Amino acid sequence: MSYNPDFAPIWTIFKLRQGQLALASAMFQDAVNNGLHHAFKTPIKPIIDEAHVVKTITAGGKQYQARRVVSTIPLNVLHTISFTPRLSPTRQQAISIGHVNYMTKIHADVKGSGLTSWNGMRYPNLLMFGFGTE
């Protein structure tokens, strides 16, 4: 997915009425209602994909099995987990680079007749871009 500059005015002005957390909670609850099994705060060591089952083994030795696994493991943590079969070279390279979202982000809501919103980002040093909306 590429960045669409035409979308910026929309996501800086319009907000979800009940917030992102309410949306995420509703999506998660819908998944649970439809059979999702989950475990939080459960460090995983290996993830093993065998024929028709995926096994995950926790740091404490507990084993989970499923036909499919949805991983929400942060990129900067994936290097602590072994995968069988090994991940593709592209994924391994991404893991070695780490998350590129280490950046300074600036967001200001301004009162008055000036800008209603101003955003800026930088990675890794100088300001990369900034924009405002009225």
Which residues neighbour 77 within 8 Å (Cβ) at sequence distance 6 or greater?
none
- pLDDT 10s per residue in the chain (134 long)? 455 556 666 666 677 788 888 988 999 999 999 998 888 888 999 999 998 999 999 999 999 999 988 888 888 889 999 999 999 999 999 899 887 666 666 666 666 666 566 666 666 666 666 666 65
Predicted pLDDT at 125: 62
Domain boundaries, the chain: 39-102
- pLDDT for residue 133: 62
Q: State the amino acid at position 94 in one-letter form.
A: A
pTM listed for this prediction: 0.58
Query: In this structure, which amino acid lies at residue 10?
Result: I
Residue 40's pLDDT is what? 85
CATH architecture of the domain 39-102 equals 3-Layer(bba) Sandwich (3.50)
Instruction: Provide the pLDDT for residue 1.
Output: 47
Full 3-state SS string of 29-61:
HHHHHCCCCCCCCCCEEEEEEECCEEEEEECCC
Q: Which pLDDT score is estimated for 98?
A: 82
